[in-house]
Amino acid sequence: MLHFDTGSATTWVVGKGCLQCPNGSGYERVGYATADSSTGVNLGIYGYIDYTGGVTSGPGMADMFGLPAGAPGEHGLRWNQTFMAADQSSWQFIPADGFLGLAFSTIAEAGATTLVETLMKKDLLDEPRFAIYYGTEFNTTSSDPAGVFTIGGSHEDRYTDGELTYVPLRQEAEFQVWRTNLSSITGMGKLAGQKSRSTTSQLGEYGRAVFDTGSGYFEVPANVIDDLYESIGMNWTAIRHGDHIPLCSEFNSSWSVTLNFGESETDPKVTMTGEQLARPGFAYRDDACYPPFDDSGVEDLALIGTPMLHQFYTVFDFGAKEVANYSPRIGFGNLKDEFRPYFARGA
């Protein structure tokens, strides 16, 4: 089992017997060893990945992959895939055997190519896209959260209410991560006994957002976070210093945040209400919710992880199977009520 990550490009698995790969997750990792495979090849290239919150390194490998997992060759899809066999990893608490990198191969390590781009190059996918539905739970429990990860297609007709909102990626010399323009962020709130008010923070041509399924945070630019919290009736400084613990009762439809992607006010927008951003369990309290936004620590940069992505059906579309013709975009679909996370469902 691999942890999918749009913020990195290298697929890696823990090497069998790795002494520098501590495991405190409770998940029993299988581990990869070339000696156990008749098709494994060492590429002779060593890779090093410095994540925010973790480091992984190891040799590049090539071996046969298959989908569905464990299916005999005649009953599933099999192909030769490059990846990294980690001989060092600080990701001791992830309940997985490694990472499935879903960014672009231009930043892959150890001579690897991303799994999705490998399949596209071999013309093994129906469509040049992958899609994610996170399921109904924020945390894995003994019940089935029913999340679905689709490679080579998408199922918005099943999961979404209405059309997808597509956001094009930021134009760059070569695509690296799923990064878009972000021209402004608008917070709208209503205090007791007052009319609704909105505050828009303009980011201009330098505004950008990175979509990272491997991140558990919704980080907004350092230069707008104070104004954004004020606009929804909260105080970031008080929360950060422990003077205020946000109660889940504060997360309701009376306030919202809108991200305007692109370079103008006419570009695509995505809006979330307070109830959608509620995540119980802050400060070890059932009645307290985690702060809706964190500080990215960088001006004009937003890092958008699972707190937001969990609320939508997302489609990561390359636009073409050939690198030269890529026109990537991300589609956001509002979930039908029965597919929304439990805490964010309507009455």
Sequence-distant (6+) residues with CB within 8 A of 133 are 147, 148, 149, 155, 159, 313, 335, 339
Give yes or no for a contact between 91 and 54, defined as CB atoms under 8 angstroms apart: yes
Q: What is the pLDDT of residue 259?
A: 97
Q: What is the pLDDT of residue 142?
A: 44
Cα gap 73→266, rounded to integer Å: 49
Q: What is the mean pLDDT of residues 224-230?
A: 97
**pLDDT over 90 (residue 101):** yes
Which structural domains are found in the chain, ordered by start?
2-124 (2.40.70.10), 148-344 (2.40.70.10)
Q: What is the DSSP pairing of strand 77-86 with strand 12-14? A: parallel
Which band of pLDDT confidence, cut at 50, 70 and 90, is reported for residue 302? very high
The alpha carbon of 139 is separated from its chain's Cα centroid by a whole number of angstroms, namely: 15
Top pLDDT among 191 and 52 is at 52
Q: Exposed/middle/buried for 50, CB within 10 Å: 0-12, 13-18, 19+?
A: exposed
DSSP-assigned letter for residue 102: -
Which band of pLDDT confidence, cut at 50, 70 and 90, is reported for residue 191? low
**pLDDT over 80 (residue 36):** yes
- What's the whole-number average pLDDT of the chain? 91
Give yes or no for a contact between 215 and 7, defined as CB atoms under 8 angstroms apart: yes
Cα gap 207→54, rounded to integer Å: 26
DSSP letter string over 236-258?
HHHHHTTS---BGGG-STT-EEE
